[in-house]
Amino acid sequence: MAKKEEEVKLLGFWGSPFSRRVEMALKLKGVPYEYLEQDIVDKSPLLLQLNPVYKKVPVLVHNGKVLAESHLILEYIDQTWKNNPILPQDPYEKAMAFFWAKFVDEQVGPASFRPVVKAEKGIEVAIKEARELITFLEKEITGKDFFGGKTIGFLDMVAGSLIPFCLARGWEGIGVDVIPEEIFPELNRWIKNLLEIEIVVECIPNREKQIEHMKKVAQRVKSA
């Protein structure tokens, strides 16, 4: 059991890549934490109390200090527990890690999944546009084991939690393989590397359950 001075709680949702990446970081650092599963539709009073601005998971509580937004939480974890660094030490490399993480969450995520689901321009056009975004990451990972080099880091947690184990399963649920190995060999090699890491495997949602969840997300997107 964690000592009082290191009490850590995480409010999350099993299917949220944003929650899962925080769990990866805590596990990598070896930080004991209490996980509190949340209903992201019928939000709990605790979630609304701790994150009244965004009303979303994840929320990290460390010794009474409350943090929201996964990028900020990952940075906080890295600065609080110094072992197994997540972010690059070089200022430029750190800035680029944040740049690509922002790109993943704000472009590859909603800007690729939504067009594929809604497909106002036709499904083939939507798939093409999604793959054009993903191509930037294919180039970025070329020649590397992980985005940060030889070991898993910040961008791997951000991209890994969202793309192969969330969005790809959503696309699979509507019959689309957006990251086939023949087009994205480097990304698929990187995904295989991720699957060799125990903490990543521990944080991956059940495949069938995630596909069903993403189908529901797609239905909400369609009707929006």
Q: What does the pLDDT look like over 57-75, one tens digit per residue?
A: 999 999 999 999 999 999 9
Is the separation of the CB atoms in 169 and 210 below 8 Å?
Answer: yes
Q: What does the pLDDT look like over 195-208, one tens digit per residue?
A: 999 999 999 999 99
Global pTM reads 0.92
Distance, CA of 212 to CA of 173 (rounded, Å):
7
At residue 216, the 3 state secondary structure works out as: helix
Distance, CA of 139 to CA of 164 (rounded, Å):
17
User: What phi and psi, each to the nearest 5 degrees, are found at residue 169?
Assistant: -75, -30
